[in-house]
Structure 1
């Protein structure tokens, strides 16, 4: 299939996870690599009251003001050279759909597209915790579930299914981001492959994505993570989604300039 040269998942100098590189350098890197479309999808601010590690990177409302201002400047500066679209990576938090819709509604005039992502699932005592912080953190808060990793996977994909079912309330493209983040620390935690039951669960999610008219992201970040080494999702799931006619959109999930475009050619090989 013809794969559009689009990076559909990128972050900004306001994500608090990267260096002090200037925002313009991200766009110029994308242009150097021949990308035709570049989507800025900074994290939406998280709800207050979540149990977070002290140094967990959080984007604030003040950051979003600057992201919007800088994005407008970049669109104007580079409009003759590359198409820049605007979005958010929105965290799905179980039982907090009303707040998610309120945020999206408040920003609907700015949004071109949405990356809908699950970073938080209920831990062993039912408290929402991030699964993307460190392997040690995951081990400490999900130890009971990790005694049977398939139950850990099951809880994650149950939450993903809830995110796909959630009412977004806006008529913009929605992309399910980094499906399979539950395996981020698979090499450190010695996580096994998904069981047949988990693959059936994933298959059901793909059917839901198809029915909703959503897109699926090929997120390249996991390929660069030494604790993982695979894309989100893995190639077999990408191929299954492609066979179902689900649009596959590449995302570098870049937090630094050199992340832009990473492993794009691998997706081209998978989708041949």
Structure 2
């Protein structure tokens, strides 16, 4: 795996992850021959936003951010001769909370090496937020609220478009996370992309290219029982390559054993 890196890795600071240490993740990366990794922990959710998940564990606690930064800075130093380690965050784009997201990024931007901008939360017509990827049952509720599977997909890609266009300040993440995460439960809620949906995605990818963003090529979907494909799926990945959008591999590991899972250089070439 020479010259490969894993640029989407979580840590023991993730409230819905494992207690595997940062060094365990780093050692796994070294064992695989990776040259670089990014720790991209879920940033705290914006002030005033109510996490819709049952355990309200979608992001790290604000009072842990400084400890997280110190821990990653320490591990960077420990492994500096063996592995390039980036300190980063996976930042949730949540519609209507741009000011608070910007404040977080401005506060910590000087120490951030790498960051991902992701959509996990969708806002319905009443203003209520739903977690897109929590469970198949919760996704079913989304389908009911939005009226159809296609309507959920449309809302998801529309929200990603808003994230790309949003003004989050000079430290805004430049990589879009798992762009087809909406497919996580597609074996339970199947959907064949319509021509209109593919046109929406094509326009979104053109916007991503125009604005200079890269894409997270996320292998986690391969291991989700109701998905089984990459995020982005092969069709969307092919379109991204045709548009020459920069691509970076990420395992989305929440435990050390998942680092570098199913990585192939061909996925991003």
Change in CA separation of 1:215 and 1:49 when aligned onto 2, cut-off 3 Å = closer
Structure 1 residue 141: Cα displacement: 4.1
The 5 A counterparts of 1:16-95 are 16-47=15-46, 48-57=48-57, 58-95=59-96
User: Does the alignment pair 1:200 with 2:205?
Assistant: no
TM-score, normalization by structure 1: 0.92
Supply the distance in 1 between the matched residues of 2:205 and 2:168 (Cα, whole angstroms).
18
Instruction: Specify the SS of the correspondent of 1:160.
Output: helix
Give the match for residue 168 of structure 1. Answer: 168
Give the match for residue 153 of structure 2. Answer: 153
Greater shift in the superposed pair: 216-225 or 191-200: 191-200
Cα-to-partner distance string for 1:149-176 (whole Å, 9 max, x where unaligned): 1111111111010001112322576100
Q: Count residues in correspondence.
A: 267
Asked if 2 retains the 8 angstrom alpha-carbon contact of 1:124 and 1:143, the reply is no
Supply the distance in 2 between the matched residues of 1:86 and 1:13 (Cα, whole angstroms).
14
Question: Which 5+ residue runs of structure 1 have no aligned equivalent?
Answer: none
Give the match for residue 208 of structure 2. Answer: 209
Asked if 2 retains the 8 angstrom alpha-carbon contact of 1:7 and 1:261, the reply is yes
Supply the distance in 2 between the matched residues of 1:204 and 1:156 (Cα, whole angstroms).
14
Structure 1 residue 228: Cα displacement: 0.8
Supply the distance in 2 between the matched residues of 1:4 and 1:245 (Cα, whole angstroms).
20
Instruction: Specify the SS of the correspondent of 1:188.
Output: coil
Greater shift in the superposed pair: 114-123 or 3-12: 3-12
Q: CA RMSD in A?
A: 1.8
Give the match for residue 233 of structure 1. Answer: 232
Change in CA separation of 1:149 and 1:140 when aligned onto 2, cut-off 3 Å = closer
